[in-house]
A and B are shown apart, each in its own frame.
Chain A
Amino acid sequence: MARMIRPPAILTRALPLLFVLAVLAVAWLGGAVWLNAPQIIDRWQRDGKTDYSTGELVTAAWSQERPLLPAPQQIYADLAKSFSGRLDSPRNLLFHTWVTGSAMASGFGLGVLLGGILALGIVHVRTLEKSLMPWVIASQTVPILAIAPMIVVVLGNIGLTGLLPKAVIAMYLCFFPITIGLVKGLRSPDPLQLDLMRTYSASPIQLFWKLRWPAAMPFLFTSLKVAISIALVGAIVGELPTGAQAGLGARLLAGSYYGQTIQIWSALVVSAVLGMGLVGLIGLVERITLRYQAVPKAAGGRG
């Protein structure tokens, strides 16, 4: 049997991805024409313009001012225009990204702190584990986001507005995965390893720093990635109910009120890029942290 010629790795990995992306792009462009054309034909007929070529229709569909589905190049143009503005002006999306991002980051920080403390308590105090853990798990089944508007109102009543309510929402959303991941991770050393530490007569603190904490790292990073994207969702949704003036969520809401489709899509694209960037950042920190640590990479598993 002749040996198969193996294509280079970059081709086998990149080609399928490129293919899928190309299909998506074609579907998007086609969808834009399909969705926007009826409106344009309607308008043209009212204006008495009856003969037009397909090319004309397609160009018009891709450059409509308030399209049902804007073409990618329109979003790109809108983004480019927005980024060229002054950094502190509300016309610049980077300004809104900063507003949402700072709320997300402070909420994430608080969430890591709270999640870590809870996890330490659950791992070390048996009563706390038995009483608290079922609630932590049950809370995962609750649509916590529904609480967001109320937190904003409640904190607004005590005079706290702006960044803090959003950070609290982000924190509230993201500390559960951290708690669960960290509890799982701190529990992951098997009895053999624990026994070994005992034969070394390691103190509880040594046991923690030399065995439990390193063992928890892969689990921690897996849950940090989940947590940071949830924190972003929390910060965005936290801007919805209050009529906030700045932030990606506020842009979404304003765009939906005034029918500015392109504005909605630009805000969506930016938040998507922000989310992917943040998860990528955590992945980078993970790789640097775990470089010298010979632990299996795969973590998580059944929730």
Chain B
Amino acid sequence: MNKQLYLYLPIFVIGLGLYQVFLRNEPFTQLPAVGLIAAFIFSTVTVMNIIVRNPRLEARYGIIVPALFGLTILYVWEVAVRGFGVPKVLLPAPSAIGLALVVQAPVLWADFQQTVLKSVIAGYLLGNGAAFIIALLVDRSPFLQRGLLPLGNLVSAIPIVGIAPIMVMWFGFDWPSKAAVIVVMTFFPMLISTLAGLQGTDRMQRDLMRSYGAHYGQTLLALRLPVAAPMIFNALKLNATLALIGAIVAEFFGTPIVGMGFRISTEVARMNVDVVWATIAVASVVGSVAYGTITLIERRVTFWHPSFRKAPR
């Protein structure tokens, strides 16, 4: 019982701090305000500490800890921007970014359609699909494998986004050029991972398949693709972020007047930094959702993998 009391006080202080941010617009240079800010930070740290130290609490409320950390960052950001009167061009407050998200929603939605729904999805599917199929073909020829693998490793050191201006020249200003950049960027990570994954079976497993009289296709479906799945999913996750980056950077090189990269570069030039931050927020959410979706699919497909099995209680 006593322990819960420890929790109530900091939570009260956190509430007080939030109240101060959202309902009072005064810049707070006075001592009480500084005290409240210090108390806020101290309280969040205390709550995090209490939860982390207590296994029972952590099992139940573990997710609160990173959330509190994020809240603290946002709070300090908001308070610092208001308190020190940081100009909007330099760094807008989180609330200003939130406002921009709401006010500019139609514009941001159009950008999202152009960049994500057209360029990213088309490029991502094409790039990963082509790499997967070519990996399956190359896998049958050890000669080609030995030729392609070192090359693929070299390619990973190359800043591939640099091909964006060339693709814009070849495929025009609209989304196909962005999709082309994404295809090239996502191709090699997928190719390398799939090839490495397909080689992940050991001799015993292959011999077993052979003793079952399994032919190539059956071995592929029943043994080698499942073994390769974790590596393939790793590449898919990495590529989700790469695809977004590729589309946004390619839009810096020329685009119709819509798209996330276009929005970022023009609004930066017009000093509407809050819209830029709003676009970045959208991009972050898209990236995280894509990552999360792929992770969910991965759990469904590779439920047998040790990293997803539940620990015995």
Contacts and interface: CB of A to CB of B under 8 A. Distances in A.
B162 A271 contact: yes
B137 interface: no
A150 B277 contact: yes
Contacts of B284: 141-143
A268 B162 contact: yes
A92 to B, nearest CB: 19
Interface string B234-263: 100110110011001100111000001100
Contacts of A204: none
Contact of B157 (A133, A147, A150, A278): A278
Interface string B7-48: 000000000000000000000000000000000000001001
A237 interface: yes
Contacts of B154: 276
A253 B240 CA distance: 25
Interface string B60-95: 001001101110000000000000000101110000
Interface in B156-206: 156-159, 161-166, 168-170
B255 to A, nearest CB: 12
B104 interface: no
Contact of A12 (B146, B238, B288): B146
Interface size for chain A: under 10, 10 to 19, 20 to 34, or 35 or more residues?
35 or more
B279 interface: yes
B234 A302 contact: yes
Interface string B109-134: 00000000000000000000000000
A80 to B, nearest CB: 20
Contacts of B151: 17, 20-21
Which secondary structure dominates chain A's binding surface? helix
A302 B245 contact: no
Contact of A149 (B165, B234, B265): B265
B146 A13 contact: yes
Contacts, number: 179
A145 B52 contact: no
A142 B291 CA distance: 9
Interface stretch (A40-48, A54-62, A82-90, A254-262): A254-262
A62 B151 CA distance: 25
A303 B237 contact: yes
A229 B168 contact: no
Contact of A135 (B49, B69, B146, B253): B69
Given A130-B66, A264-B166, A279-B157, A16 B146 contact: yes
Interface of B: 45, 48-49, 51-53, 58, 62, 65-66, 68-70, 87, 89-91, 143-148, 150-151, 154, 156-159, 161-166, 168-170, 230, 234, 237-238, 240-241, 244-245, 248-249, 252-254, 260-261, 264-265, 268, 271, 273, 276-277, 279-280, 283-284, 287-288, 290-292, 307
Given A140-B241, A146-B245, A233-B161, 10 more contacts: A142-B241, A145-B161, A146-B283, A149-B264, A149-B276, A153-B273, A240-B252, A264-B166, A268-B162, A271-B158
The 4 closest A-B pairs by CB, nearest first: A256-B165, A16-B147, A20-B147, A131-B69
